[in-house]
Each structure stands twice: as structure tokens, then as C-alpha cells.
Chains A and B, each alone.
Chain A
Amino acid sequence: MGNWERLVWNQREVLLEGFLVTLHVCALAFAAAILGGLALCLLRMHVRPLRPLATLLIEFFRATPIFVQLMWVNYVWPELFGWPNSFFTAGWVALALQSSGYLAETFRAGIEAVPRGQREAGEAVGMGPALVMARIVLPQVALTTAPAIVNQFTVIVKSSTLVSVITVQDLMFQSQKLVNVWYEPIEILTATAAIYIAFVFAVSACGKRLSDALRRRFGIGSG
């Protein structure tokens, strides 16, 4: 037990610091993925001239492995666009790209599930397209896609371990650094794995409760 105390408990501040960086990266990536996913989805569905471009981007983001995207954003984008200029930014941007592709498809399925008649009813009472979208369509989309959105957040958390490869100092990075200092991987890596597993488990359990509660409160029909 001495090893656990020396290598894990006494290093708790370093590990916590890493975990906070993980949270920071994931939160930024999640927020950007929701906005980006919504934008891609609306472009694909409602802006005819940009539809092929939006479709291409969605398919590219979805079908390229996250690690490949991370390396691509990290090494290619700075030369191509002069941005991102830090590893931290490259990390969350890459995570956001992939998830925005998945979320765009999730949102599209959610929007298409809203019956046409409701939109027509909105127009019939004099609402504009934007108002119909904001007041009638999107609230229902949020309800039906909540489980998939939470699930996507857990995917982001899992993928976020890879940003340590480009030296973002997240939990994975700190734990590997500790391993390199102490040369004792058993306790450190096991504890790190346990933290990730517990966190992802907690997020999905809370997310499931939340979306069930939302559905009970606002859901229509048997749902």
C-alpha cells in the first residue's frame, strides 16, 4: 500500500491539475462541437449552394480517425492557415472537428423527426422560419437528441487522452510524466485508468438520468 500512497496519493495535486486541463479541453471541444455541428447541419439542410461542402466536411470529420485528425490539425493547419498557434488550441479544435461531424448528423435526424405539420402550423400563425426553428423545432430536437449528445461528450473525454501526445498537459500527460520520473507504472497508470473510467461512467450515468428526467418533464406522448 506504501506505493499507492507515495505514487498516487502524494501526487494528487499534479494529477488533479492534469484532470482540470482534461476538463478544460473537453469543455471547449464540446461547446465548439455543438455550435459547429448545428451550423454544419443547418448549412446542409437549408443552404442549397453550400450543401455539397457541408456534406463533404461532415463525412470527412466522421470518417477520419481522431488521432489522424489531431496530428493533421497540429502539423498541417499552422502551415496552411497560420492557426492554431498552440498545442492546447490544436487539441480541442481537433476534438471539436470530429464531434461536430457526428453531432451534425444527430441534429439532422432530430430535425427530420419533427413532423412537418408543426412547422406549417407555426408558419400559419405568422412565425418566420427562424422563429419556427428556434421555438418549435430546436426545443424538440434538444429533447430527442439529449442522450446522443451526452454520449458524444463521453467520446470527447475518451479521445481527449490523445492530446497528451502533442504535449497538452492533461491527466494522461501528467500520469505518463510521473511514470517517467518514478519508473513505476503499475500504481500510477492503474489509478489514471480508474479515474478516466469512473469519470466517463459518472458522466453517462448522470446524462442518462438527466435525459430521462427531461423526457418525463417535457416529453410528448409515450416517449
Chain B
Amino acid sequence: MFSDALRESVDLSLFWDYREVMLSGLAFNFHVFAASATAAIALGLGAALLRVAQALPFRVLGTLHVETFRNAPDYIMLVWVHFVLPLLLGAALGTRIEFHPFASAVIALGLVYSGYYAETFRAGIQSIPRGHLEAGRACGMSERQILWRIVMPQVVRRMLPEGLNQLVSLFKATTIVSLITVPDLMYRVSMVTATEMKPLPLYTGAALLYFAVVFAAASLVRLASERWRRRILA
């Protein structure tokens, strides 16, 4: 009994039979990932700039954004964005709005991870010595020039290791989009399981495939950030 089950789970030929379906599912994970990563980084930078702003209302708004989305579970945000946000927008605009599952997935993951990115950006921005800003001002640079020519290049270098780790986490989070019927790898696995009635090789195959992708990405990040650290601290 045990050895049969073991052989069956190690025998991934059923997963291999469906390789095209599975890979096109994995492609959806990458699409969701790319779109929500772009949204998260852009929103995160915006929220971080609000948090370090001079005016109090901006700071409050930035803090509210960070504390809400950083503390929200991905899954509840996903469900909320998919089922509640269209109703609220529809009521505000006076029309009926529905989100495509893909759009909901990107918005939800983008919002949650923008909370994490905002903190990373803020830590990076606040680690820039005041003297650098004052030097920029003394040379007659405008605030915008100081931000893009002096602050951001250093921020990006400092936050790169953590920022890349967060990208890996974001990719892992994309596996839950199947729950609002985005046809990603997990969605394909559950569909195929429903017809084949053999969860063992299918879920094991999916777990190994995700593991391979994430492990490879995380190892690359580790390698890259060690090099970066050595170069920055040297």
C-alpha cells in the first residue's frame, strides 16, 4: 500500500502527459507576477515618497497605505478586490462594473506588495545622509533633480537584495490567483485532478515545478546580493 502510493507519487508521468497544459498555466503565473510586480514597485515608491514628505496629511496617507496593505492577508485582499471593489466603483460611477479575474489578481497582489515595497524604499531613502541632499541644494539642483540623481540611485543599490527577495515572495503569492479562477498552474492542476482523479502525481508535480522555479530564482538572488553587498560595502 505505502510503496504503491510512493511509486505513484514519484512516477510523474501523468503530470508529464499534461505538460503543455501545465506550462501554459505556469505562464499565467509569470504574467500575473510581471504585472503585479510593476504595480507594486510603482505604488510602493509613491507611498514611500508620501511617508517621507514634509506635509503631515501626506505622511498620514502614506502610513495608512503601508499599514493597511502590509498587514492584509493576500487571500482576503484578492477576494475583496474581486468581489467588493467593482461594486464600490460601480456605485460611485453609477454603472455596473466587473473585474476580469486577471485584473483583480494584479490589483490585489500589487496593493499588498506595494505596502512591503514602500517600507523598503523608505528605509533606503532615510539611509541617505542629509549632507548629500544639502550638497545637491548647494550646487543649485532642484528637489526633483536631487531625488532622481542623488537619492534614487543610492536607494536602488541599497534596497536591491531585499527588493529582489520580495519579488520572489510575490511570485510565490501568485499561486493563490487560481482561487478567483485565473487559469494558472494550480488551477490547471485542480481541473486535471477533477477528471483524472489522481491528485497524488499531479500535486506533487506542481509542488516540484514551483519549487524548481522559486529555488532557482532565490539562489540567483542570494548570489547577486552577496556580490552587490561586497561592492557597496567595499
Contacts and interface: CB of A to CB of B under 8 A. Distances in A.
B61 interface: no
Interface stretch (B15-23, B156-164, B207-215): B207-215
Given A65-B172, A186-B88, A200-B71, A193 B210 contact: no
Interface in B176-234: 176, 178-179, 186, 189-190, 193, 199-200, 203-204, 206-207, 210-211, 214-215, 218
A65 B206 CA distance: 10
Nearest to A160: B73
Interface in A22-63: 59-60, 62-63
B203 A71 contact: yes
A65 B214 contact: yes
Nearest to B76: A193
Given A65-B175, A190-B84, A172 B76 contact: yes
Contacts of A158: 72-74
A196 interface: yes
Interface residues of A, number: 41
Is chain B's interface secondary structure helix, strand, loop, or mixed overall? Answer: helix
Contacts of A80: 2, 5-6, 9, 200
Nearest to B67: A201
Contacts of B67: 197, 201
A193 B9 contact: no
A162 B76 CA distance: 9
Nearest to B177: A67
A192 B211 contact: no
Contacts of A82: 2
A159 B112 CA distance: 13
Contacts, number: 115
A43 B204 CA distance: 25
A185 interface: yes
B185 to A, nearest CB: 9
Interface in B50-101: 67-68, 71-77, 79-80, 83-84, 87-88
Contacts of B214: 63-65
Contact of A76 (B72, B77, B175, B200): B200
A38 B122 CA distance: 33
Given A76-B203, A186-B84, 8 more contacts: A68-B203, A72-B203, A80-B200, A176-B79, A185-B84, A190-B84, A193-B72, A197-B67
14 contacts: A64-B214, A71-B189, A71-B206, A72-B207, A75-B200, A75-B203, A79-B5, A82-B2, A160-B73, A162-B176, A172-B76, A189-B76, A189-B84, A193-B77
Interface of B: 2, 5-6, 8-9, 67-68, 71-77, 79-80, 83-84, 87-88, 172-176, 178-179, 186, 189-190, 193, 199-200, 203-204, 206-207, 210-211, 214-215, 218
Interface of A: 59-60, 62-69, 71-72, 75-76, 79-82, 154, 157-162, 164-165, 172, 176, 179, 185-186, 189-190, 192-193, 196-197, 200-201, 204
Q: Across chains A and B, which 8 residue pairs bring their CB atoms closest together, nearest first? A: A75-B199, A158-B73, A65-B172, A200-B71, A65-B175, A161-B75, A63-B214, A63-B215
